[in-house]
Structure 1
């Protein structure tokens, strides 16, 4: 079924571009064919390149963010002080587990805060915790896996939206051209019809 649609579409495009001689071919058919061919080229070349560029840009932005966070924060070796509790879900779909953790601050004084910990943690476990310059718990920088996942999602999103936009524009072009051609034929028939149906005909 799909092969038949593709064959019909290619046949129409070849006809509309003037590769086959046909006195019934309208000028608007050729204009529409050129526009559709251009949109097809855009869909097959420009959109994938734009998606690839967007994905790379997102990945680079994620890694820059990770570098900035890592330069302003550091990891401390903390001890889990309370039983971990699940408090919700993370954006990626995993469980978020938090517990009270304690560590020695840069000033040598003990510090304690609630922080995200591995789900397998228990009281007395030692866990790495990211803290800022003021010894406050801070979000960890994006990991390599997170950056790749974000970049992939961005690229796929741009690709899908770009292809849908091209298909939508193609349909709009065809609809506008067909509407214009129909009105043109109706106008021409109004002028020709009296000669065909007037007195002496039939």
Structure 2
């Protein structure tokens, strides 16, 4: 009856290294849970902040119809991995009858005299389009995933280093214990031991 009620930690076969490994695995599982919580919290915060910023930006962006005044050209995209942008000089009126002429992004194949939609700010200057809901969602998911991945990777690396240290110490302990037990178990004499010595 006694052997059934003894706690697993009292198992004489279970070594300190085994207990340490169990604690490290539990710590990594806890870190993964913490990473998920932090990732969700950061993602929600970015979503709320991004939604408010997009709403504020949308209040100062206006879609106007512009007319291209020359042929299209290609310019480098803001991001290195993105394809070149097609731009063309265009003219529009905003606010009121105030005329503006600037090079703006246009669809490929746009010809001189075609009409295109242009986003402008309150002064009528060309400006980026306001962020969409999908833009904000992608940003929120990106930040949340980044935080989650960062915590998991950092915790995994730390636990890995700790496990390697535990394994090295355990191997040295096994070698030392085996050096004491093996001669008795195999009947081989220890160095410096005589045949009549016990």
Same fold (TM over 0.5): yes
Larger radius of gyration: 2
2:3 aligned partner: none
1:179 equivalent among 168, 171, 181: 168
In the alignment, which residue of structure 1 is the partner of 2:136? 147
Say if 2:93 and 2:124, in contact at 8 Å, map to a contact too: no
- 8 A Cα contact 2:120 2:126, kept in partner: yes
Unaligned 5+ runs, structure 1:
1-17
Q: Which residue of 2 aligns with 1:113?
A: 102
Distance 1:137 1:155 in 2: 32
Between the two proteins, the alignment pairs up a number of residues equal to 184
Conserved? CA contact 1:80–1:99, under 8 Å: yes
Per-residue CA distance 1:128-147 (angstroms, 9 max, x = gap): 22222332212222222222
Q: Does 1:83 align with 2:71?
A: yes
> Quick one: distance in 1 between partners of 2:9 and 2:95?
81
1:149-177 Cα offsets, whole Å, 9 max, x none, are 22333333333333322321221121122
Where 2:130 maps in the other structure, the secondary structure is: coil
Output the CA distance in 1 between the equivalents of 2:83 and 2:131: 15
Structure with greater proportional helix content: 1
- CA–CA distance in structure 1, aligned partners of residues 98 and 88 of structure 2: 20
Alignment partner for residue 130 of structure 1, among 95, 119, 126?
119
The CA RMSD over aligned residues, in Å, is 3.4
* Partner Cα distance (1:140, 1:104) in 2: 17
Deviations 1:20-43 (A, max 9, x none): 864232224313312321212332
Equivalent position SS for 1:119: coil
Q: Does 1:32 align with 2:34?
A: no
* Contact map agreement 1:65 1:141 (CA 8 A) in 2: no
Counterparts of 1:68-107 in structure 2, within 5 Å, are 68-89=56-77, 91=79, 93=82, 95-106=84-95
Is the partner of 1:178 in helix, strand or coil?
helix
**Distance in 2 of aligned mates of 1:60 and 1:122:** 41
SS across alignment from 2:70: coil
Aligned pairs (5 A) from 1:25-64: 25-43=14-32, 45-64=33-52
Show structure 2 runs of 5+ residues with no match: 1-6
